[in-house]
């Protein structure tokens, strides 16, 4: 018989102190991830992280890449900043490809909150807008 105790998450989620219904899990991937646009590779990493967040909704997982694993020469500062009530403040990047520009195609948390030290892992990592950039977890590589 399943009880509430059996359904608890194996790992403690990161929760907002003032709103415990807004939480997330950050997990290191055990296989590579790749981000592409068209046929051009923007990022490839075997040290990416997946963030699964629950707030007003259950949001699609987001993959975060180390900047060293991203082709940053294609990105310029978009002069857009947002604040996530769970993670912190993010800066956005526009993606400039030959003959094409993709606005706000990526973001990075430049200031994360201090209420949970695990948030520090997101500082400076790059995530992509999956409406513009194809991000894949390569689970069959190996």
CATH of the domain at 100: 2.170.150.40
Count of domains in the chain? 1
Residue 4 pLDDT more than 70?
Answer: no
Do the beta carbons of residue 93 and residue 100 sit within 8 Å? no
- The answer to whether residue 1 sits within a structural domain is no
CA 113 distance to own-chain centroid:
15
Give the range of the structural domain holding residue 80, as residue numbers without chain letter. 14-137
Q: 21 exposed, middle or buried (CB, 10 Å; 0-12, 13-18, 19+)?
A: exposed
Order of all β-strands in the sheet with 33-37: 40-45, 33-37, 134-137
Q: What is the structure's pLDDT at 22?
A: 93
- The answer to whether residue 73 sits within a structural domain is yes
- The answer to whether residue 18 sits within a structural domain is yes
More reliable by pLDDT, 142 or 84: 84
Q: What is the structure's pLDDT at 98?
A: 86
- The answer to whether residue 8 sits within a structural domain is no
Q: How many residues are there in the chain?
A: 142
Average pLDDT estimate for 68-78 = 97
Residue 141 pLDDT more than 70?
Answer: no
Longest dimension (CA), the chain: 59
- The answer to whether residue 5 sits within a structural domain is no
Order of all β-strands in the sheet with 88-97: 14-16, 19-28, 49-54, 62-65, 126-128, 100-112, 88-97, 75-84
Residue 2 pLDDT more than 70?
Answer: no
Which value, in Å, is the radius of gyration of the alpha carbons in the chain? 16
- The answer to whether residue 112 sits within a structural domain is yes
Q: What is the structure's pLDDT at 8?
A: 44
């Amino acid at each position: 018989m399943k009880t509430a105790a059996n359904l608890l998450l194996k790992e403690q989620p990161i929760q907002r102190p003032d709103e415990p219904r807004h939480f997330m899990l950050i997990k290191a991937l055990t296989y590579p991830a790749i981000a592409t646009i068209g046929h051009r590779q923007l990022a490839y990493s075997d040290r990416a992280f997946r963030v699964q967040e629950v707030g007003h909704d259950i949001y699609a997982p987001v993959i975060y890449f180390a900047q060293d694993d991203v082709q940053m020469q294609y990105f310029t500062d978009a002069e857009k900043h947002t604040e996530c009530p769970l993670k912190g403040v993010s800066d956005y990047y526009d993606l400039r490809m030959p003959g094409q520009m993709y606005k706000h195609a990526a973001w990075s948390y430049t200031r994360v909150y201090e209420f949970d030290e695990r948030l520090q892992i997101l500082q400076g990592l790059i995530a992509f807008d999956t409406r513009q950039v194809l991000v894949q977890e390569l689970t069959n590589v190996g």
